[in-house]
Structure 1
Amino acid sequence: MEIPPPRCKFSGIFLFIIISLFFGLISFISCIVAEIKRNKKGDLRWNGKLCFLPSSQAFEFGIAALVSFFLAQIIGNCIILKNYCSGRKRNVKCKIPAIAKALLLISCRVGFGIAVIMLISATSMSSRQPYGEGWLNGECYLVKGGTYIGSAILILVALASSIIASLLSTANTTQADESRKVHAQMG
């Protein structure tokens, strides 16, 4: 009696999706905390000519959000790449329209790019801005309210589209190939 081959290696893929989701949620939560901990107008010191802004805890949470978001995207992209490059036949019933694939890819990449740009600029503004140096051209800048929240929303969009693409890319032929094999052996 032959042991049938596994129908789907979904458990390994599911584990990577959970890990990607975990890192994405860490990034999301770090953005929310960074929004709460960011510098406010009251933290800005002005001596008439020069400004000073102390470092805030938003800097550390912004770095944590960036690192975990990169890890989530790398894991999600590896899953998608592995499934598309595996050479397995896809189930005709699960065929994804090309426009849906393009929209998922665009929303994932654009959301990732904009979120990273927002996080990098907000995080660098949250570091210490000494007298005379500031953040840019000797001027102090405060992170505008809602910047980290906007990044958190974009993180969710990019993460969701990456996970959906990962799940859709795991669809392979199982029942269609199995039924053809059974009919071929009987006939």
Structure 2
Amino acid sequence: MEKLHLLTYSLILCVVLSLALLSFIFCIIAEFKKLKVNDLMLDGKLCELPESAAFWFGIAALICFISAQIIGNMIILVGNPQNSKERRSCCQFKSPTIAGILLLISWINFGTSVILISTATSMNRRQLYGKGWLDGECYLVKNGVFVGAAVLVLVSLGCTFASAILTLREQYHVSAHENAKKVAFLNET
């Protein structure tokens, strides 16, 4: 039964890895497809920018990254369904572990990268004359914003993976120890 759960968790982690890598790739593509100064059209003080393909790549990156983060954290939070309620309640107030710290770092990186990607993505949407992106002015994304977000996606993925592996490793170690106790008890009787 444990092998089935381990296989399930491995497949889910592969899905998380795939989604996060897709998000990374979409961010890199968006960096190359973003609006440039040459795309800016001026009419006196008014400016206009067309919609860029970076907008859609940014949306795709956000969808993949948010999905990867949620699914990856569900593995950690749900954990092994074979855990007893007693063990969960006795371990509820432990001091933060390495897995917990990595999870916190993952969420901080997640929040930062979502802000970067969503802001840069919205700047690549069409900006009409007089409307602009903010206060009627046109804005362009600086070089490296999407790449920086892509790096944060990888760091967040790494922290989520490390936290999931540490959590699952601890749970399976405890589960194996409990099974050994049961076998020893049955052998004694």
Scaled by the length of structure 1, the TM-score of the pair is 0.86
Spell out, residue by residue over 1:34-87, the C-alpha distance to the aligned partner (whole angstroms, 9 max, x if none). Answer: 001011111111122111111111000000000011110111111111117763
| Structure 1 vs Structure 2 CA RMSD | 2.1
Measured after TM superposition, the shift of residue 7 of structure 1 is: 5.5
Scaled by the length of structure 2, the TM-score of the pair is 0.86
Letter in 1 for 2:161: I
Runs of 4+ aligned structure 1 residues displaced above 6 Å come to none
Counterpart in 2 of 1:119?
117
Matched, 1:159 2:160: no
Spell out, residue by residue over 1:115-164, the C-alpha distance to the aligned partner (whole angstroms, 9 max, x if none). Answer: 00011110000001111111001100000100000100111111111111
Letter in 1 for 2:69: Q
- State, as a whole percentage, how many aligned pairs show the same letter: 42
Letter in 1 for 2:181: R
The one of 79, 83, 90 aligned to 1:83: 79
Letter in 1 for 2:79: N
CA contact (8 A) 2:35 2:141 kept: yes
Q: Evaluate the alpha carbon distance shift between residue 68 and residue 45 of structure 1 in structure 2; reply closer, same or farther with a 3 A threshold.
A: same
Measured after TM superposition, the shift of residue 97 of structure 1 is: 7.6
Matched, 1:51 2:52: no
Between the aligned partners of 1:154 and 1:86, the Cα distance in structure 2 is: 34
CA contact (8 A) 1:7 1:174 kept: no
Counterpart in 2 of 1:177?
178
> Is there any run of 5+ residues in structure 2 with no aligned partner, and where?
89-93
Matched, 1:60 2:56: yes
Q: Evaluate the alpha carbon distance shift between residue 144 and residue 121 of structure 1 in structure 2; reply closer, same or farther with a 3 A threshold.
A: same
Counterpart in 2 of 1:141?
139
CA contact (8 A) 2:98 2:163 kept: no
